[in-house]
Amino acid sequence: MTPTNLTPLFPNTLLARAERLRLMPHRRRTNRTQGEHHHGKGGTSTEFSDYRDYVAGDDVRFIDWNIFSRLNEPYLKLYQHEEEMRVVCIVDASDSMNFEGKFDLAKQLAAVFSTIALASREKASAYVCGPEGQPPIAMQPCTGRASRSRVLKFYENLEVGGTMPMERAIDEALRRHTGKGIAVLLSDFLTFGSVEASLNRLHASGLEPFAIQVLSPSEIDPDVEEDVRFIDAELQHSLDVSAMKDLMALYHEQRWNLEQRLAAACRQRGGRFVSVSSDEPVERVVVERLIREGWLR
């Protein structure tokens, strides 16, 4: 008998595994409020971190009396600092994502990240940007496993459609977001504008960009041989292209340049970047890409 999945987004096995994972940001971007995120030494958690010499004014409760009895010198025990980290998922829901399961994979990955955040007692929130001129669909910050069903329901009910470019989506999310932490960007990043400026603002807001580019197989390796008129799904612009075979090398070079540019932009801002294909199962993306590349542990 096949067990019923808790969410149609992904199987229970992935859900269970996600609850055991932890986010691995490059830098401490935490908030004062206490959470379960091990931030550094000097914390109040039960997990030992280090010793240091006692100085006047230190809380005597943290003196290791066993060492004092042997060495007759007071040493202070340091514990891991556990702080709360904000995990905000900014999901591109424009029409360009409505191809070959791009938006589905984006939703699944956003749900995975939110689940991990909830399980780590971080505050998870989400902004889904679709129609131009309308505020993004927001999932208010929530924390704790009790919020899991609400978060999953939020992602299950998302609809795709709109023309809002990703850089505008980031700006709209930042306008409404507070707190430091990680910003998971889920988009194809196929925008005529510049994402770098939005990433700067993201960085300035204390959010470490975790950018995941979701491309469809037909975008990774277009299978077009004849002269064709391309229609932009978002803007409905047309573009006549001939001699497709001769242009494929240029196309791949442009796509590779875009990936390199996005990766560099994220890296320079302390973040990460990965490009995935929408035909890849979300489990494989999580296990073989995110865990292997150190995004998760």
Partner 1 sequence: MNFTAPWAGLLALAAIPIVVVYFLKLRRPRRTVPSLVLWQKVLEDQRVNSPFQRFRRNLLLWLQLALLACVVLACMQPFVSGGGGSDALPIIVDVSASMAARQSDGGPTRLDRVKEELLELVDDLPGGKRVAIVAAGARATQMSDFTADRNVLRQAVDRLAVEPVETDLTPALRLADGMTQSATISELRLYSDGNLPTDPNSPDGIAVIPFDLPFAVDFRQVEDEEPIANLGIIEASATRSGESKWEVFIRVSASGGPGRADVVIMQDGEELRRDPLVLEAGVTQRLAFTLGSSSASTIVLKLEPKQFDALDLDNRVRLDLPAARPLAVQVADSLPAFRFAADGLVNRRFVDTAADLLITDAEGTAPVNLVIGTVPEGLAEFIEMTAGHNDVVDWQRSDPLLRHVQLSDVQFVEHPSYKDSASRQDIEEAGYRVVAETANGPLIVRREQGRQVDYVFLFDPDRSTLPFRIGFPVMIANAADIATSRAELSDVRGVTAGVLPPLGVDRAGEYEVVRPSGKTQTVRADGRRLLRGVVVDELGDYVIRRDGTDVRQFGASLLSTIESQLAGVDEVRFSDVTVEANDNAAPSSDQSLWRLLAAIGLAVLVFEWWYAHRPALPSSSGGRRQNTGQPLQGSPSSLSRS
Q: Which is nearer to partner 1, 127 or 189 (CB)?
A: 189
Among 275, 282, 295, 296, binds partner 1 (CB under 8 A): 275
Binding mask 255-274 for partner 1 (x = CB under 8 A): xx-xxx--x---------xx
Among 7, 85, 86, 99, binds partner 1 (CB under 8 A): 99
Q: Which is nearer to partner 1, 132 or 253 (CB)?
A: 253
Contact region with partner 1 (CB under 8 A), list: 50-58, 69-77, 83-91, 221-229: 221-229
> At closest approach, how far in Å is the CB of 234 from partner 1?
7
Among 247, 261, 281, 291, binds partner 1 (CB under 8 A): 247
Contact region with partner 1 (CB under 8 A), list: 14-22, 71-79, 197-205, 228-236: 228-236
Helix axes 12-20, 102-119, angle to 10 degrees: 40
What torsion do the CA atoms of 174, 141, 206, 165 make, to the nearest 10 degrees? -30
> At closest approach, how far in Å is the CB of 192 from partner 1?
6
Please report, as residue ranges, which positions from 121 to 150 form the binding site for partner 1 (by CB under 8 A): none
Q: Which is nearer to partner 1, 16 or 228 (CB)?
A: 228
Q: What are phi and psi of 247, to 5 degrees?
A: -95, -10
Residue that is written with structure tokens 């791009």 in the block:
102
Would you give the DSSP letter of residue 5?
Answer: P
Interior angle at CA 143, CA 139 and CA 144, nearest 5:
135
Could you tell me which residues are beta bridge partners of residue 241?
Answer: 228
Could you tell me which residues are beta bridge partners of residue 78?
Answer: 50
CB 139 within 8 A of CB 110: no
Phi-psi region of 295 (alpha: psi -120 to 50; beta: other; left: phi over 0): alpha
* Identity at 132, one-letter amino acid code: E
Among 16, 197, 231, 264, binds partner 1 (CB under 8 A): 231
Residue that is written with structure tokens 């005529």 in the block:
192
Q: Which is nearer to partner 1, 7 or 198 (CB)?
A: 198
Length, in residues, of the chain: 297
Please report, as residue ranges, which positions from 163 to 192 form the binding site for partner 1 (by CB under 8 A): 188, 190-192
Using CB under 8 A, count the residues that bind partner 1: 61
Select from 158, 149, 141 the least CA-distant residue to 97.
158
> At closest approach, how far in Å is the CB of 110 from partner 1?
18
> At closest approach, how far in Å is the CB of 262 from partner 1?
9
Query: Token pair of 84, please?
Result: 């709360």
Would you give the DSSP letter of residue 10?
Answer: B
Distance of CA 217 to the CA centre of its chain: 22
Determine if 97 is a binding residue for partner 1 (CB under 8 A).
yes
Determine if 108 is a binding residue for partner 1 (CB under 8 A).
no
Residues contributing to the site for partner 1 (CB under 8 A): 95-99, 102, 188, 190-192, 213, 215-216, 218-221, 223-235, 237-243, 245-256, 258-260, 263, 273-277, 280, 288-289
